[in-house]
Amino acid sequence: MALIESGFLFALAADAILFGHVLFVAFVVIGLVLILAGKAFDWVWVRNPWFRLAHLAAIGIVAIQSWVGVICPLTTWEMALRGRAGEIAYSGSFISHWLEALLYYHAPAWVFVVCYTVFAAAVVASWFWVRPRPFARRSKRGAD
């Protein structure tokens, strides 16, 4: 009970969301780097259609949110949890301090819209330059 009253669990949950947010960003950014490297090094796995579709959807969601002015739900949840923990946003733990430095920048909103859109365009271009394999059809075993 004292842990909840002190806000420890809320701060811990906020840190977990921030960590997940960083992993999401890493998937999007590093994913494109790996796709392009996979073309150069002929890595078969970068042509996996499920990986490519998840990657395209991830940056697509980010770009669309920026176009319509929606704040990322991960950011909203994290900030709400920090408020419940009695923290000023991002002044809490070691984890939140360093992960925030990697993830959040202070710039006008239009800068992010342009960056997300250009990055999404690069991911779409990679879809055509490094073609994913077709989705496998279900085999009809025993249908002879």
CA angle 26, 130, 139 (to 5 degrees): 100
Give, for 121, the enclosing helix (H) or strand (E): helix 109-129
Reported as a single tens digit per residue, the pLDDT across 27-61 is 999 999 999 999 999 999 999 999 999 999 999 99
Reported as a single tens digit per residue, the pLDDT across 118-143 is 999 999 999 999 999 999 876 666 55
Q: What is the pTM of this model?
A: 0.80
Tokens 């499920």 sit on residue: 50
Q: How many residues are present in the chain?
A: 144
In 3D space, the residue among 111, 106, 81 whose CA is nearest the CA of residue 19 turns out to be 81
Count Cβ neighbours within 10 Å for each residue of 109-128 and write b for 16 or more, e otherwise.
Answer: eeeebeebbebbeebeebee
Residue 19 is classified by DSSP as H
- Dist. CA 66–CA 54, nearest whole Å: 19
Reported as a single tens digit per residue, the pLDDT across 65-76 is 999 988 889 988
Helix 8-41 / helix 109-129 crossing angle, nearest 10 deg: 40
